[in-house]
């Protein structure tokens, strides 16, 4: 081997070594923990107990969170809440757990609804109901939200940003196609019919796209009162089986596939990319979380309408499911930090803060008191789109199928469902085949989870 | 090569930093991964069940993983061949002695300075099916619907294109250096013997360039397997369906999103051995044909 060959071998070995490190390192996330030892702000005394708060609210919502923390910090001197944006929901959850593993978790972490089971079983949290010494009347929390985050009637985390999915539509396109802009579709058949009319009138190139399609599918199960998984959706015990490939699940996906073939359903990715074509006036409809409402109203150059999720004929009525996030208190927190966190929870639950949060973001006002106040102040008359999702969720039936699904490692199952929808809608795989495969995969995930949480 | 070191410990001292880097960033994590690959671990890492080789057995039986392997190999072939081909062409053109070419050549390496995530952002915007200039122009001019969110073929081509572009500058720089180091007398001799440009390139330049090509072949293969994570993460997220679920991305999803550390560790071990074997084979079979001067 001459020098040149030797050098080449060395370079290759070295780069192999370096690149191989990346997948092998287990918790790179711990490297980006925020500094807990930040100088306290001028308003609070230097002896203030610091409470770190990791959240997943980016963009304008991050500013709103900073505002809440600021007002809380100025309202008293004992505690100081330090909010920290830690990436997407999934990333924040992973980082929180990784930090717990390495012994430096935040005091409070915001976890999206999908992570609820994981947090409940983690053994790493302080249930919020144990902190309440009667100061907060849980009954004042809007029922579907309260029920989502409760197990055996005990609330485990502090409801913060709750939302649900609804149908957004472009009123201008309704007018262009000769439809009544104040009569949105209520069934899937009507969504299809109206889409065709609008497309035929040349006002749009497609019918609708969906944000978070896997979540929309879950919403379909709930609004038609169909169980998504056994053990009452994991509410009465660890769920071990999903019903994705049930008659109902297959029916929904078959409908979606058919509409995709007719260019009515246009696939728009797994998260927010579906917003773009709606805003670009390409489609009259879009399914998305209520939490996008603020942003949509701001950037849409047309009149936006909102409506309940459409239904399939011939099924019972359930209710749409709460999504969004909840605040969890980690058990590594000192007693002072726990007291301080409870003070902070009470603060965000106050009427003023709840209203502020709702108005600035589009998330639900989480308490009945705040909701009543908004109503008497005339807010919903001024902004009827802000009332849609709320009316939808308050008008539904309270059944086991509509209280939301609690699954072990739900994050992975969401991903499996997302892939199955893509297979059917984009790659034209037979819906039943795609769902059978997804069901097997999801059941395996649940089995593994069960083996670790007996 | 036979220079003696003044002190017998000096060589060890000099290689110590490298050895430490290898131990801390490679050996320890690898051993840890190997260990974890025999377990099923809960997200908090405080409960572990020994499962023996089950994680590996699952890899073999898992259709998604097999698909991921297939997609990764396809992707690597696309990136390596289109990347080496196009950059060799551009390097040959850029190797001419024309005014201003020095500046032009220097600019060719720019894409390499970007991180894969930024490259993904740029290409994602450019080819965005709704408002991306690239996608819209393509549609207007050729009526080709290029939508990497909804078409599997578009998605894999899109990724390969962005990945190739990102590596373009790097490849060109090496090819240029190789071309400029070629002995001109051989080319002149070939001209005197009546060889045309095409013949000169294939009979003289290309064989003489083989060490560079071989080096780039290996670097691009490694790149296609390991370094495109950021690109996938920011653009296709492995979709649509499983169309761009490359091995590294699958590993990330299982390990960091699904928090299935044991299964992900098994994947990282397999990935490491797979690429190491590939590199070994390249050295064994392609390396023999390389003409070192």
Question: Closest Cα of chain A to B230: distance in Å?
Answer: 12
Are the beta carbons of A269 and B239 separated by less than 8 Å?
yes
Assign A81 to helix, strand or coil. strand
b (16+ CB within 10 A) / e for A347-370: bbbbbebbbbbbbbbbbbbbbebb
For the record, the structure tokens of A326 come out as 């909840």
Using alpha carbons, select from A362, A448, A11, A406 the residue that is nearest to residue A164.
A362
pLDDT along chain A (454 residues), means of 10: 48 46 38 43 64 91 93 95 92 90 92 92 92 92 92 93 94 95 95 95 92 94 95 92 96 96 88 82 93 86 95 92 93 94 95 92 91 93 91 89 90 91 92 96 93 84
Beta strand spans in B122-190 (E): none
Domain that holds residue A372: 44-163+322-395
Contact A100, B44 (CB under 8 A): yes
* Cβ neighbours of B265 in A, within 8 Å: 24, 26
Are the beta carbons of B279 and A100 separated by less than 8 Å?
no
CB atoms within 10 A of CB B137: 12
Using alpha carbons, select from A406, A391, A409, A403 the residue that is nearest to residue A449.
A409
* Cβ neighbours of B43 in A, within 8 Å: 97, 118, 122, 409
Residues A63 and A113 in one domain: yes
Question: Closest Cα of chain A to B26: distance in Å?
Answer: 5
Using alpha carbons, select from A395, A346, A400, A3 the residue that is nearest to residue A164.
A395
Question: Closest Cα of chain A to B27: distance in Å?
Answer: 9
Assign A239 to helix, strand or coil. coil
Task: Say which residues have a Cβ less than 8 Å from residue B101's Cβ, sequence separation at least 6.
Answer: B94
Using alpha carbons, select from A179, A243, A264 the residue that is nearest to residue A400.
A243
Residue A400 resides in a domain:
no
Using alpha carbons, select from A305, A311, A308 the residue that is nearest to residue A173.
A305
For the record, the structure tokens of B260 come out as 């299935």
In order along its 293 residues, chain B shows pLDDT tens digits of 556 778 888 889 999 999 999 999 989 999 999 999 999 988 877 788 999 999 999 999 888 899 999 999 999 999 999 999 999 998 888 887 777 777 887 888 888 888 888 888 999 899 988 778 888 888 888 878 888 888 888 999 999 999 999 999 899 999 998 998 888 888 888 888 888 888 888 888 888 888 899 999 999 999 999 888 999 998 888 878 788 999 999 999 888 888 888 999 999 999 988 888 988 888 888 777 777 76
State the pairing for strand pair A108-112/A304-307: unpaired
Q: What is the pLDDT of residue A4?
A: 52
> What distance in Å separates the CA atoms of residue A89 and residue A87, rounded to the nearest whole number?
7
Using alpha carbons, select from A328, A361, A392, A396 the residue that is nearest to residue A108.
A328
Q: Rounded to whole angstroms, what are the CA distances from A450 to A118, A158, A240, A409, A453?
A: 11, 26, 7, 10, 5
* Cβ neighbours of B151 in A, within 8 Å: 426
Contact A129, A98 (CB under 8 A): no
Q: What is the pLDDT of residue A78?
A: 94
Q: How many domains does chain A have?
A: 2
For the record, the structure tokens of B36 come out as 């974890």
Q: What is the pLDDT of residue A395?
A: 87
**A443 — contact with chain B (CB < 8 Å)?**
no
Question: Closest Cα of chain A to B118: distance in Å?
Answer: 17
Residue A29 resides in a domain:
no
Q: Check which CATH number belongs to the domain holding A109 and give it.
A: 3.40.190.10
Q: What is the pLDDT of residue A14?
A: 47
Q: What is the pLDDT of residue A46?
A: 58
Domains of chain B: 25-289 (1.10.3720.10)
Q: Closest partner residue to B30 among A24, A280, A445, by Cβ? A: A24
> What distance in Å separates the CA atoms of residue A26 and residue A208, rounded to the nearest whole number?
40
Residues A120 and A251 in one domain: no
Q: What is the pLDDT of residue A5?
A: 52
For the record, the structure tokens of A336 come out as 């002072």
Residues A173 and A291 in one domain: yes
Beta strand spans in B14-153 (E): 39-41, 48-50
For the record, the structure tokens of A286 come out as 């879009």
Residues A305 and A380 in one domain: no
Residue A234 resides in a domain:
yes
Are the beta carbons of A26 and B255 separated by less than 8 Å?
yes
Residues A144 and A244 in one domain: no
Residues A63 and A99 in one domain: yes
DSSP assignment of A315-340: S----PPPEEEEEEEETTS-HHHHHH
Q: What is the pLDDT of residue A43?
A: 45
Residues A363 and A231 in one domain: no
Assign A55 to helix, strand or coil. strand
Residues A304 and A437 in one domain: yes
Residues A137 and A226 in one domain: no
Residues A430 and A301 in one domain: yes
Query: How many Cβ contacts (< 8 angstroms) between chains A and B?
Result: 155
**Which residues between 388 and 427 in chain A have a beta carbon less than 8 angstroms from any beta carbon of chain B?**
409, 411-412, 415, 418-419, 422-423, 426-427
Where on the phi/psi map is residue B45: left (φ > 0), alpha (ψ -120 to 50), or beta? left
Residues A170 and A223 in one domain: yes
What was the ipTM of the complex prediction? 0.76
């Amino acid at each position: 081997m001459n020098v040149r060959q030797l050098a080449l071998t060395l370079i290759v070995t070295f780069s192999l070594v370096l690149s191989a490190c990346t997948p092998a390192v287990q918790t790179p996330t711990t490297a980006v923990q925020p500094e807990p030892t930040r100088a306290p702000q001028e308003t609070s005394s230097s002896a203030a107990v610091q409470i770190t708060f990791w959240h997943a609210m980016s963009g304008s919502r991050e500013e709103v969170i900073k505002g809440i923390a600021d007002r809380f910090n100025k309202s008293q001197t004992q505690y100081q809440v330090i909010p920290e944006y830690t990436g997407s929901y999934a990333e924040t959850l992973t980082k929180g757990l990784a930090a717990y593993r390495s012994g430096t978790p935040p005091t409070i972490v915001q976890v999206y609804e999908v992570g609820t089971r994981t947090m409940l079983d983690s053994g790493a949290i302080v249930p919020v109901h144990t902190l309440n010494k009667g100061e907060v009347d849980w009954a004042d929390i809007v029922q579907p939200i309260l029920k989502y985050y409760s197990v055996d009637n005990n609330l485990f985390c502090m409801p913060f940003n709750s939302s649900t999915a609804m149908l957004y539509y472009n009123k201008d396109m309704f007018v262009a196609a000769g439809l009544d802009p104040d009569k949105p579709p209520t069934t899937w058949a009507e969504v299809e019919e109206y889409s065709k009319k609008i497309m035929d009138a040349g006002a749009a190139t497609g019918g609708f796209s969906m944000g978070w399609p896997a979540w929309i599918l879950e919403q379909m199960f709930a609004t038609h009162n169909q169980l998504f998984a056994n053990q009452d959706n994991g509410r009465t015990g660890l769920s071990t089986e999903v019903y994705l490939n049930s008659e109902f699940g297959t029916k929904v996906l078959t409908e979606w596939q058919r509409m995709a073939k007719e260019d009515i359903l246009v696939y728009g990715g797994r998260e927010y990319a579906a917003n773009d074509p709606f805003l670009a006036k390409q489609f009259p409809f879009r399914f998305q979380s209520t939490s996008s409402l603020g942003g949509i109203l701001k950037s849409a150059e047309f009149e936006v309408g909102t409506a309940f999720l459409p239904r399939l004929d011939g099924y019972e009525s359930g209710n749409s499911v709460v999504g969004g996030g909840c605040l969890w208190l980690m058990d590594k927190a000192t007693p002072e930090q726990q007291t301080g966190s409870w003070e902070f929870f009470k603060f965000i639950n106050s009427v003023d803060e709840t209203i502020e949060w709702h108005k600035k973001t589009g998330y639900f006002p989480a308490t009945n008191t705040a909701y009543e106040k908004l109503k008497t102040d005339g807010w919903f008359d001024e902004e009827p789109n802000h009332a849609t999702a709320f009316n939808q969720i308050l008008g539904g039936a309270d059944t086991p199928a509509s209280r939301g699904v609690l699954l072990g490692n739900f994050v992975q199952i969401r991903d499996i469902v997302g892939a199955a929808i893509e297979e059917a809608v984009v790659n034209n795989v037979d819906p039943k085949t795609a769902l059978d495969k997804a069901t097997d995969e999801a059941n395996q995930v649940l089995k593994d989870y069960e083996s670790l949480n007996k | 090569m036979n220079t003696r070191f003044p002190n017998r410990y000096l060589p060890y001292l000099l290689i110590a930093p490298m050895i430490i880097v290898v131990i801390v960033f490679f050996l320890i994590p690898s051993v840890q991964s190997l260990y974890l690959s025999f377990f099923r671990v809960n997200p908090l890492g405080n409960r572990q069940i020994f499962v023996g080789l089950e994680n590996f057995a699952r890899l073999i039986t898992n259709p998604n993983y097999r698909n991921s392997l297939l997609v990764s190999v396809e992707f690597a072939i696309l990136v390596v061949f289109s990347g080496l081909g196009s950059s060799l062409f551009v390097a040959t053109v850029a190797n001419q002695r024309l005014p201003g070419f020095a500046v032009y050549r220097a600019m060719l390496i720019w894409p390499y300075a970007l991180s894969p995530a930024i490259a993904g952002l740029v290409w994602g915007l450019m080819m965005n099916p709704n408002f991306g200039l690239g996608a819209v122009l393509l549609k207007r001019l050729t009526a080709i619907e290029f939508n990497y969110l909804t078409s599997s073929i578009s998605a894999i081509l899109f990724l390969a294109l962005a990945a190739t572009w990102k590596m373009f500058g790097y490849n060109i720089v090496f090819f240029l250096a190789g071309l400029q180091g070629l002995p001109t007398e051989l080319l002149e001799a070939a001209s005197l013997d009546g060889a045309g440009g095409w013949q000169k390139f294939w009979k003289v330049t290309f064989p003489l360039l083989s060490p560079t090509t071989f080096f780039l072949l290996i670097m691009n293969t490694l790149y296609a397997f390991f370094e495109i994570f950021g690109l996938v993460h920011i653009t296709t997220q492995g979709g649509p369906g499983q169309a761009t679920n490359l091995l590294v991305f699958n590993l990330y999803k299982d390990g960091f999103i699904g928090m299935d550390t044991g299964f992900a560790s098994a994947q990282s071990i397999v990935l490491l051995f797979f690429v190491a074997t590939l590199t070994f084979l390249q050295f064994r079979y392609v390396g023999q044909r390389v003409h070192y001067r």
